[in-house]
Every structure is written in C-alpha cells, then in structure tokens.
Structure 1
Amino acid sequence: MSGLRAFLDPRSIAVIGASDNPHKIGGRPIHYLGKFGFKGAVYPINPSRPEIQGRRSYGSLADLPEAPDLAIVAVAGDTAVSTVEDCAARGVKAVVVMASGFGEVDPVAGKAKEQRMTAAARQAGMRIVGPNTQGLANFGSGTIVSFSTLFTEFDRAGGHVAMLSQSGALSTAPVSFLLRKGIGVRHCHATGNDCDVSVGELACAVAEDPEVKLLLLYLESIPDARHLEQLAAIARERDLPIIALKSGRSVAGQRAAQSHTGALANEDRVVDAFLAHHGIWRAPDIRGLVEASELYLKGWQPTGRRLVAVSNSGAVCVLTADAASEVGMPMAELAPHIDQQLKAILPSFATAANPIDLTAAMLSNDRLFGEILPVLAADPGADAFVIGLPVLGQGYDIAGIAEDSAALARQTGKPVLMASTQPAIARQFAERGIAVFPTEVEAVTALHQFVAHRELMAKAAARRTSSRGEAPRQPAAQAMVMLNEADSLALLAQHGLAVVPHRLCRSPSEVAAAVAAIGTPVVVKGCSADIAHKSELGLVRLNVGDEAAACQAFAAMEAIIRAQGARFDGVIVAAMAQGRRELMIGAHRDPVFGPVVVVGDGGKYVEVLRDTALLLPPFGSDEVNEALHSLRIAPLFAGVRGEPAMDTEALARAVVAIGRLMIAQADVMSVDLNPVLINDAGAGVVVVDAVVFRAAEQVRAD
C-alpha cells in the first residue's frame, strides 16, 4: 500500500478545476471530503473564485502552501495533460485524472496524450489514476475523490467490502446492491483507462487494508496479469476472497470492451483458467458479483457441500433439492439416530427425511421448529442448512423461529441461510444475523458460490505451497519457427512423454531398415519444418505393408514436399499405434497470462467440436483429472457397455509433463499433440503426431 498511499490516505488534496456547485464534477469531491470526514487539508484551485464551498480557493498549484499528496484534475481534454505536467513539476505524489477524451475514444491520438502524461509522471516519480475515471473513495480515511452520484444517497459508509473497477458505473452499481442488502462498503474505486496505475495494482494496495474482508473486481481488459497475480498472493496470505466480473465473454462483448477502454480483449477461456488457477471466483454478471457477499462476511469456513433443508412447504422442499442437485450440492443423508429423534418429535404426516417438510404442524406446535433444529445441528453429515419459509403470519411464533435459526448458526458455526418472500419476516431473521434470500433457489445458488469458491481458494493455496514457481512469460511479438515432426517428437521424449516408435529416414535404404526394425504394417509420413498439416497434401500413408511400398511412399512424398517449395527433411516411418480414442494435448504461451495447456477430445474434428479444458501451469494430476471430468466425453473414460476404463492416469501424467515442459523451456512457444492415443487402464497413452514451435532466436543459437 505504501507506494499508492497518497491515493488512499493522503495528508492533503488539491482539486484543480474546483467548482462551488457540489453537483459538478469539480465540486462533488470537495463536498464529499467534508461530508465523509476527511481530516487532511483540502485546496480548491480556481483562479476566478476566492472561496469555494466555504474553503479558501487558490489561483494555481504554485500558490499552494505545500505540494499536495494528491491532486484531482477536473479540467477538460488537452488542459488536463498540461495540468498533469504541472503537478509533476510541483512535486505532487499522486493525480486522479477525471477528464475523458483519451484512449477510450481515439486509440492513436488519445493514447498519445496518455503516454505524454505518463512520461511526465514517471520522470517525477508521480503516479496517475485515470484518465476517464469517476474517481476513488476510501470511506475508512474519508478520502472521497470521486464525482459519483451514488454517494449523495447516504451519509456515511462503513463496512468490510472493497469494490474496484475499470468502469465508473460498474464501480458504484454493485455498491448500490450491497447497500440495499445492508452491507457496508469500505472502498469504491474506478481506475478508468489505467494509463499508469492499473485496477490490479490499486487492488493490491486495497487488499493490504486489514479491514477489507471481501474484494470485488470489475474488469474490461487485462493487459498485464502481473498485478492480478500479486493480488492473488496477498489474498492467499490474508485468506481474502476475491470475486471478479470480467466482461467480454462474447465476440460482441469483446468488441464493445475494445471501444470502451481502448484495450485488446483477452481470450475468454484463458481468463477463466487464470482466475480459477489463482483462487479468484469469476461472476457471470453483476448479481453474481454481489449476491453471496454477506456469506463471505460471516467468518464461516465450510467443510463440505452436504445440505440440509427445512421448510413448512413440500413444494419448497422439492425446489430446494432440485436447486441443490443442479449446482452439485448433495442433500445430506441423515444419520440413523438423527432420523429416529426427528421421527419422535414430528407428527406422522410430516417428513423426517431430508429435505424436512414440517407442513402446517408449526401452527399446532410453536416449539416444533426449536425442537428439531438442535437435533439437526448434531448430525455430522450436515455441512450447511437452508430454511425455507415462504409464507408466515399470525399464528406463527416468528420471533421464536428466527431466534432458533440464529441459535443453530451459533451452535454449529456452519452456514445457515433463510428464504422468505416476505420483507417483514425476512427482516426479523436478518436482524439476528441470518443471511436471507427471496427464494430457496437464490439461497442455494449463493451458498454454492460461497462453498465452491472456498474450495477454489484452498486448491490455489495448496498449489502455491507445493509448486516450484510460476511459469515464465514471453513477449507477444516473439518470432517463432516450427520444428519438424521428428524434432518435435524428440523434444517430447526428452521431457518424459511416450511417443510412437519411429525413425526419421533420409534415403530409401534407411526406410527399408526402419521397416525391418519396426515391423509391418507401418505409417509413413513426410517430414518438413515448413509443413504443419500433412494429410491435406497426401503426406500420410497408413497400413503400409512392406519395404517396397514404404520406399515408394518415400519417393512420392519427397516429390510433393519439394513441389511445395518446402524443405525436405525426410520421411518418418512409425509403428501403427493403437488406442481406444484420439485425444489432444496442446500448449501455447499467452502474452498476458503465460503458458496455457489444453487437453480434450482430439482427431480431425477437434477445432469444430471444441471439447477441451484449459489449465495454467504449474498443476498436478489431480487438477488434470478434474479437468478431464469436465469434458463432454468424460463418461467414456470409465468405460461403457462392458468396456474397460481408459488410462486417464497416464493421460494426466502426460498433461502434467507438458505443463512442466512449458515452465522448464521458455523458448517453447506452442505445442500441438494430436492425436494422443489413450488405451485401457494401465496400458498408457502414446503421442502419434506433434508440432512444436520454438523461439526463432533460440533455434538459431542452437
């Protein structure tokens, strides 16, 4: 936080372009600084007014009694650029540039203006947030340097949630949802175009605030992942959950993000893999960003997914079970002694099995709810509880039911959620610390997010404990050269992968010797570092039955390759490998996120069917197996209709080996193994074809 302290906890603030109108961009921050109790000096700068909002106004930066820690630049366009340069010359530590009309509207001239500001700032050791930013708000220190309209709607804010966004509107819209749920906010920051300080870097500083218990992010682009990695490391140390909403999932969304921020969109599936790898939950929309927020603030440490549901409605019981099944939260099987105790308490027409339907018996017995909850609390198989009471009213001991629910949460220390459509009823539960949702489906959805996110965080922490370091990145513009297939297979074999038995042959006599050594039938393939896809050119012949046919294939393939103007490196004579199914393993070096490994269904339709999963190294076999079971073809791995299981353990080891290769050998830019043949359990996998690209500079050096 120390490097960005001037943004979050400055001793003095100058407002350049200050306005006496508290509803103008240059007036709102001055109003908010007073309203939210900023303790430092505030210097409005406006040469046409001696006083602004009851504070002395100054004609220029030079007239101030000191160089302020932080300056707000609330003047327009080109004037903002020269003003930033003035701030750098004056010794200002940090600047928030609210002006727009930069890279978000003109990727050439607008970006050039941003670069001019950044260059002046860096030379002076000054930092910039913006331009095109709505501003920053740290309610802990009263540093509200923002023109957001939302902050006019409440007198004070206090809480444990931090919201950071590249968008102004998307920094405050989630806060509005949170405030409506009664959840306080400590930080609300919008970084705009990120010309200097990125949203990730600012988030790192905010994450070090010990009062922050949940951090929310809205991202439109990720031009550099380093600060997000650093943020994830800080969060792991603090056990701080991070939820991110990253827009641009669709092609249309990616284009909109480009026009809005002037930044290139990231491949969306890589973003998914990156966030999961670092224990960051990716929300699908604004609702998913905030809906489970209060669960994170309860201090719960969930130990499993098994759910117990209780309701006075049979329909709600069924809907709760359906929702739980949909998200992969099994209904807990109650222990036999718990079942017996429940049956002794409940009337015969009620349902003692989970989900537990109390029916209308609660009207006849005010204490029925309070009698069964302590019994359920003692069940060792219960990891969380959802109480669904769609309609309550006169005749029900609502206060008693709410207190019994709160006692269940205190007794177990486990998640207890309540669903109610009635605001007045929900309020009584919320006042006793129970997380309340309008419907049982929303409650289960939020609970699943919370539990699954905690599992994701635990995996990320375990991975960092056991890993040997992060994988290196390569510059995006790195020139590459393709290795021929023989060299590609040799590289893979060096890194422990099982490759098909083969020989590279540069003459008919070598072909004959290879056929004799390998045994018929064989595969003959043309080999050239200039040709990646061989089948289309007739450079692959299967089931070649004798030496003469193999030598004939050699001559034909040499002619084809030379006719293409490509290098002729010989032909590969390989064994006819067998397997249960064709799979693929690939890897490439993303310029933002580093190495990315992909595994999935293979063969010639791989680009059409796209049944693959992504992983970011380093990872282990357990993570690969989890990825394999996310594929559409996953049911085939266990064997169907009497077939034996496939060797997914060997496949997982091969994928781990590719991940290690990408870490160990930074000059390898991409790997494409297709097909990889998988056999019965215990019989392994074999790489049949491979294309590897390496950095051109390293290949020349070799």
Structure 2
Amino acid sequence: MPTETLKEFFHPESIAIIGASADFTTISGKPMKNLLRNDYKGSIYPVNPRYDEIEGVKCYDSILDIPGQVDLAMIAVSAARLISILEQCIEKNVQNILLFSSGFAEIGESGRKIQDEVAKMAQENNVRIIGPNSVGCLNVKDSIPMGFATSLEAENGFKTGNIGLVSQSGALGFSVFGLAQEEDLGFTYVVNTGNEMDVTTIDTMEFMLEDEDTTVIAAYMEGVPNGQQLINVAKRAKELQKPLIILKTGKSEIGKEAVSSHTASLAGSEEMFQVIAKQYGIITVKDIDEMIDVMKIVSRRKWANGKKLVTVSNSGAAGIAMADLSEEFGLLLEPLKGETKEKIEGTIPSYGSALNPIDITAQALKEQHIFTDTLETLVKDDNTDIIIIQTTFGGALGEQICRKVAEIDKREAKPIIVTVTGTEELTGKGRQVLREYGVPVYKTTYDTMVAVKHLSNLSDFYKTELAAERPAVNAGKAEKEEYKSGVWTEEKSKRLLKQLSIKVPESAVAESLGEVEQQIDGLAFPLVAKIISPDILHKTDAGGVKLHIQNAAEAKQAFNEILEAGKKYKEGAQIEGVLFEEMLSEKGVEMFIGVKKDPQFGSFLVCGLGGIFIEVLKDISIRHVPVDKAGAKSMVEELKGYAMLQGTRGSKKADIDAFADALVKISDFVHQHNGDLKEMDINPVAVLEEGQGIVALDGLLVWNETEQADLIANQ
C-alpha cells in the first residue's frame, strides 16, 4: 500500500544524490545545498566520480561504494544513463528513488520506451519512484527538502501546518506552496510527481490521508491515473473529514494537447470528472488563487451547521454585493429575527440596517464596539450558521478591530470569515493579525463568497451518507443465445426491463408476414410497430416506426412497409422482425434513463426529460453508480424540468417515486455487471400520474464486445 511504502520515502534517514555537483547554482547542486542549509539530520551521500568531497562531505564514485544503507536516492542524470544507474540502486537495495531527469514519455516514443523499461525494473524489484521530470519533494514537518525547486531555497525555513500538497507540475505546485506560505498557511508535505512513472498524485493523496498531521489535501492534476482509486480516496476523505481540493487542467482540446506534451497524461472526460467530484465531495477549483482561498477556509476545520449566512459591513454596497452572490451560490441570506435583531438594532446607529446584510455604517469609526458587539450577538444566534465581516477600516483602528474579531473567533466554533478591503499600506496590518490567528481573510467580496460557497457545500456533504454497496439483483440472466451481439435491440432490452420489474407495454414479435396476425392476437388496439435491427438504432429516422395501427390488415401493411424502409435505409442490415406493442393510453411526462461507461471512472447513470427534449434541451443529471433512492431523487430534483413532474397548469403530479425506483433498479443492474455494459438508452419512459407508476416505451443496450465471452460464461 502507498501509505506504508511512501512513509520511508518522505522520512529518509539517509540520502544519496547521484550526479551531485559542487556548483550549488545548478540543478545537480541545489539538492545538496538545500539539505545542508536545513540541517538535515540524516546521512548525505553525494555520488560523482569527479569529486572527492563536496562542502566537506565525502563523495563516492558509485552508489555501490557507499558503506551504509541508502533510504532514498535522488538521481540527476540523463535518461540514457538511467538504466545502468537503476541497476546499481537495485543491487544496493535502494527502495526509494526521486528522479529529476527529463527526456522520457513527455518527448515521445523513444523516451516512453526508456520510461517503460525503468518502470518495469522498479516494479519487479519493489522500488518506488517519484518522477521522472520532478523538481522534488518537501517534508515540511521535519524540514527535509528533497530537490531543486526554487521554493526549497527559502531563507527563513518553512511554516508547518496541516495541509498536504501534491502536484504533477513542479513549477505550479511549489508556486502554490510559496504563495500559501506568504498567507501564513502551513504544510506537512509538498510533492511533485512529474511523469508519474510509478507514484501518482492519487498514491500520494492516499499516503497523506493516513498521516495524522495532514487534515487537508490539495492536488494539481493533469489527468486521473486511476478513476476508482480517486473515488476510494474521496470516500476515505469523507470518513476522516479531510477536505480534498483539486485543480485539474486539460479541459479544452488545446489544454488536452498541452497536457500530453507536458507530463504524458490522459486528461480524460472533464464532465465525468466534475460529476465524480460533486458526488464524492471533492472541491474543484479553477486556478491557484482559488485553491489557496479554499485552503484558508477549510484548513480551520470549522464546519457550518447550515447555509444561513449573515453579513456585517460598514459599507452598504459591500452588503448588496454579498447578497447578490449569496443567491448565485445557493446560500441563504435571511432577515434577522427576534432577540438577535433587537440587540443589533440597539447596537448600531438608527440610520443603519439590522436586516441582513447588516450595515453598521461608518459610525463604527468612532465607536469600535459596534463591530465587535454585533459579532458577539451573532455568534450566539442559533439561526446563523456562517458570519462574514467586511471592513474597509485601516490603520490602528482596523488592526484593533481585526484583533478583537480574531479573539472572538478563537473561542467560537461557528465559522467567521473576514473581508478586509484596501491597500496593503492601510489595511495590511489588520489582515496580518487575522492570518496569524488563522482567521480566513480575503481582499474582495467575490473571493470571500466563493470560499464560503465551498465551505458550505463541503459542510453539507459531510452530513450526508454515500450510497452503500447495493445487493446483487437477480436480473438480466437471459439465455446464452441472447448474447450473440454486443447490441440488444428494443425487444431484448424490454425483456430485461421486465425482469427488473420495470413495466413495459404488452408486445409480440413477428419475424415474417405470415406470423403477424397470430402474434398480435390478444393485444389491444391501437398498436405501434417498430423495426428490430441491431444495425438500425434510430428507428424513426429509418422509417421503421408505425403508429395507431387499428386492425390486423393495418398491422400486415405496417410490417411490409417497415421491412422495405429498413432495407432501403441501410443495405445489408440485419433485420430480426417487427415488434408490435399496445400503444399507451394514459398521459405521462416523457423522461429518459441512460447509462454511459467512462474509460476512467466506469459506469454513470443519466436521467432527464425524454423524447426529443433530451437532444434539444440537454437537461440531464448524472451520477456515478451505484445510486441509492436518495441519490436518485436528488438527480430528478436538480433537473430544470422537475417542475413538469410536479404538475403544471392543472396537470397532476407525476409518479416521481416510481421513476426514482427505476433509476435505482437500473443502477443496481449496471453495478452488478461491473463495467460490462457500454451504454443503455431507455427513452422515452412515461412517468404516469402519482401512484400509477411508469412505463418504458423504448430501450437499447450495448455491451462491451470484448467482454462477451466472459459475460456468457457467467450466465
């Protein structure tokens, strides 16, 4: 497990620097310089046959000449020399390697071959590698800099804290670290994984999760190396209530191309990544500023009890801006009530406002207690979940107010967030006081509200239960011959839906004209006729659907016309017959249920308005499977078309509960088959009036062709 194997990596008692240089201004020289400057307590073994010693430390011709055990080898040699160096490390029984060298998969096929060979050797010999193309790592807790990143050269050392940071990009990752240190944010570890030949961002996140001193984990990712591993990490983070913050690039096509050339990652589907993040509580940010802003507010680990927000400001305009953003971000800015309102009305000037936002006016310049007395009242208000203070006061007054706010915050569990707007010259001392106390402080209203949105959403997520592993369902166990093709047509798909206890219309299949009358005997007119062909999936486009069939003669005519249209639409198409169904007489809201398999994360459940609306409006909701009843209902409720299900303009409420049940049944079936299903499309699903259930009117399944043999064998 990474948790076990990486502990020694970041806590080495002896370090060899292969390719070490006496020129401490070079990439090969800086790692040793950084260790010496930070008084590394372990043994340092520079390796370079050109030197007898470096800065008084004995230098060795080869790692094999080192007399003691080597816990970590930092390698700064060309890619071409790496194979022989790795062989020596393996012979020396070095288990951990930090690889600075570039010129591997990021440059193309030739570099990839070397990278693959090195990775294979490492795996066969239980060697962990970070890199190549890494600028290093930092154990902040023990002040062990392992690399040449500029941030490792800080003259005043490093501020320790509770944040772990891992980044595929060294320049970006250590820039975030440096900027965050200026904001008085402390860290446990900073890791640059580079090309991720072996150790990945997610491996490192797993390690940090189990580190008792690390309670917040931030990551920069250019791709998701293992989708299920990321989900498992997110689930574990929820158990421990350790926030995960991820900045992921490669969203645009140009961005994806840049990612490939940078660290040879596969960016993957951004839409599905965002679904995973929302479902499993990962905070996603757009840039490094937002990442640092979120670090500030979640590293306090003061969770909000709800979304009720109160803002206090000496500027009416700032209060209005907060109100606008509260609505945009789904936060509740409700009027103050009862004793709380009365106390604040007695505290602030009569021309101020004790509504919400609270405007204490510029009178607080003369009477400093107005700010702090208002805050003291709000922290005791059970109807207030989060308090935001905005001030423009500078100088000694601003500093005094900030110090008093910080003192109140220290003894209160309720989140208090501060916006101090103004220049560094005038308001900087107040901000610095808040930073020293660990109070989240921002310069603009927008930055404040974005951070509060993330805190509120995460606090809510920690109160929810993730969908548990669902029991296997006894469904879809059709006869072996049903698996002749990777595509299940509507007729086969509906047989499955019946096994899942999802209602479908009464139907019959005619394979020849002579069978039509016999097959439809017992069905109630009017009927609908549809072509059955794995080669014609869009039946309407092919003229393969006939409606309102009133008798046997019309049924036979429909059979002939459908077959003729199908043959004309696609020459050589395999046509298995015509499906005749009873037309639905009840009115219902047309919905859609779908399944899509993502190469990184597996299967996703999709729902939305059905029929033509799925393509026109694209009003859909997506979840990773499995989905339980609560998750299914939340999918439906977040649709813009949810109002249609609730009943509009005199129409009765639809059977939302039955539709949610169907979502769960489909989810269970898909989860049971564990990625065998490539896609599913049930469209439309008629959701009838409340209490009347649903009816699936069409369906299509596509299995993964390469997995057919295994699927058949398991039946």
TM-score (norm 1): 0.93
1-structure distance, mates of 2:16, 2:484: 48
2-structure distance, mates of 1:468, 1:29: 51
**CA 1:442–1:225 in structure 2 vs 1: closer, same or farther (change >3 Å)?**
same
Letter in 1 for 2:113: A
Letter in 2 for 1:443: T
2-structure distance, mates of 1:17, 1:565: 66
1:652 aligns with 2:653: no
Deviations, residues 314-347 of structure 1 (Å, cap 9, x unaligned): 1111111112111111113323222222223333
Find the counterpart in structure 2 of residue 554 from structure 1: 559
Find the counterpart in structure 2 of residue 140 from structure 1: 141
For the 8 Å contact 1:85–1:117, the answer to whether it is kept is no
1:690 aligns with 2:699: yes
**CA 1:346–1:57 in structure 2 vs 1: closer, same or farther (change >3 Å)?**
same
Residue 573 (structure 1) aligned to one of 580, 603, 606: 580
Q: Give how far 1:677 is off.
A: 2.4
Q: Give how far 1:399 is off.
A: 5.0
**CA 1:535–1:123 in structure 2 vs 1: closer, same or farther (change >3 Å)?**
same
2-structure distance, mates of 1:57, 1:611: 66
Percent of paired sites with the same residue = 29
Find the counterpart in structure 2 of residue 229 from structure 1: 231
**CA 1:331–1:480 in structure 2 vs 1: closer, same or farther (change >3 Å)?**
farther
Q: Give how far 1:58 is off.
A: 0.4
1:420 aligns with 2:420: yes
For the 8 Å contact 2:543–2:566, the answer to whether it is kept is no
Find the counterpart in structure 1 of residue 168 from structure 2: 166
**CA 1:168–1:431 in structure 2 vs 1: closer, same or farther (change >3 Å)?**
closer
Secondary structure of the 2:433 match is helix
Secondary structure of the 1:535 match is coil
Q: Give how far 1:607 is off.
A: 4.3
Find the counterpart in structure 1 of residue 384 from structure 2: 382
1:674 aligns with 2:674: no
Find the counterpart in structure 1 of residue 8 from structure 2: 6
Find the counterpart in structure 2 of residue 96 from structure 1: 98
Letter in 2 for 1:588: K
**CA 1:625–1:36 in structure 2 vs 1: closer, same or farther (change >3 Å)?**
farther
Find the counterpart in structure 1 of residue 41 from structure 2: 39
For the 8 Å contact 2:100–2:134, the answer to whether it is kept is yes
2-structure distance, mates of 1:165, 1:623: 32
Find the counterpart in structure 2 of residue 405 from structure 1: 405
Residue 23 (structure 2) aligned to one of 4, 21, 24: 21
Q: Which moved more, 1:82-91 or 1:67-76?
A: 82-91
2-structure distance, mates of 1:390, 1:178: 23
Residue 491 (structure 1) aligned to one of 496, 506, 523: 496
1:664 aligns with 2:672: yes
Find the counterpart in structure 1 of residue 151 from structure 2: 150
Structural mapping, 1:451-490, within 5 Å = 451-459=456-464, 462-463=465-466, 466-468=468-470, 481-490=486-495
1-structure distance, mates of 2:292, 2:263: 24
**CA 1:172–1:496 in structure 2 vs 1: closer, same or farther (change >3 Å)?**
farther
Q: Give how far 1:393 is off.
A: 4.8
- Figure out how many residues of one structure are paired with residues of the other and give that number: 690
For the 8 Å contact 1:36–1:139, the answer to whether it is kept is no
Q: Give how far 1:516 is off.
A: 4.5
Find the counterpart in structure 2 of residue 128 from structure 1: 129
Letter in 1 for 2:416: V
For the 8 Å contact 1:585–1:597, the answer to whether it is kept is yes
Letter in 2 for 1:415: P
2-structure distance, mates of 1:603, 1:204: 44
Secondary structure of the 1:673 match is strand
Residue 523 (structure 2) aligned to one of 515, 518, 543: 518
Letter in 1 for 2:298: Y
Residue 611 (structure 1) aligned to one of 619, 644, 648: 619
Secondary structure of the 1:419 match is strand
For the 8 Å contact 2:141–2:187, the answer to whether it is kept is no
Q: Give how far 1:114 is off.
A: 1.0
TM-score (norm 2): 0.91
Q: Give how far 1:197 is off.
A: 1.6
**CA 1:608–1:180 in structure 2 vs 1: closer, same or farther (change >3 Å)?**
farther
Secondary structure of the 1:291 match is helix
1:269 aligns with 2:277: no
Secondary structure of the 1:518 match is coil
Structure 2: any 5+ residue segments left out of the alignment?
422-426, 474-482
1-structure distance, mates of 2:255, 2:506: 47
Q: Give how far 1:16 is off.
A: 0.7
Deviations, residues 616-659 of structure 1 (Å, cap 9, x unaligned): 11222322333333334344333333433333322222222211
Find the counterpart in structure 1 of residue 478 from structure 2: none
Q: Give how far 1:431 is off.
A: 3.9
2-structure distance, mates of 1:488, 1:74: 58
2-structure distance, mates of 1:30, 1:581: 69
Find the counterpart in structure 2 of residue 620 from structure 1: 628
Letter in 2 for 1:599: C
2-structure distance, mates of 1:545, 1:88: 80
Secondary structure of the 2:373 match is helix
Deviations, residues 198-242 of structure 1 (Å, cap 9, x unaligned): 121122112221111210011111132243234224423422111
Letter in 2 for 1:696: Q
Find the counterpart in structure 1 of residue 424 from structure 2: none
**CA 1:433–1:285 in structure 2 vs 1: closer, same or farther (change >3 Å)?**
closer
**CA 1:698–1:554 in structure 2 vs 1: closer, same or farther (change >3 Å)?**
farther
For the 8 Å contact 1:31–1:53, the answer to whether it is kept is no
1-structure distance, mates of 2:190, 2:372: 41
For the 8 Å contact 1:561–1:567, the answer to whether it is kept is no
1-structure distance, mates of 2:711, 2:534: 12
Structure 1: any 5+ residue segments left out of the alignment?
472-477
For the 8 Å contact 1:8–1:141, the answer to whether it is kept is no
Secondary structure of the 2:522 match is helix
Deviations, residues 290-310 of structure 1 (Å, cap 9, x unaligned): 212122222312110101111
2-structure distance, mates of 1:548, 1:189: 75
Residue 601 (structure 2) aligned to one of 583, 586, 593: 593
Secondary structure of the 2:317 match is helix
Q: Which moved more, 1:365-374 or 1:485-494?
A: 365-374
Deviations, residues 42-73 of structure 1 (Å, cap 9, x unaligned): 11001001112331110011211134121111
Secondary structure of the 2:534 match is coil
Find the counterpart in structure 2 of residue 245 from structure 1: 247
Secondary structure of the 2:354 match is coil
2-structure distance, mates of 1:292, 1:215: 11
Q: Give how far 1:411 is off.
A: 5.1
1-structure distance, mates of 2:472, 2:521: 46
Residue 357 (structure 1) aligned to one of 356, 359, 363: 359
Find the counterpart in structure 1 of residue 178 from structure 2: 176
Letter in 2 for 1:646: A
Find the counterpart in structure 2 of residue 446 from structure 1: 451
Find the counterpart in structure 2 of residue 110 from structure 1: 111
Secondary structure of the 1:644 match is coil
For the 8 Å contact 2:313–2:358, the answer to whether it is kept is yes
1-structure distance, mates of 2:710, 2:514: 33
Q: Which moved more, 1:48-57 or 1:34-43?
A: 34-43
Q: Give how far 1:400 is off.
A: 4.7
Secondary structure of the 2:220 match is strand
**CA 1:420–1:32 in structure 2 vs 1: closer, same or farther (change >3 Å)?**
same
Secondary structure of the 2:291 match is helix
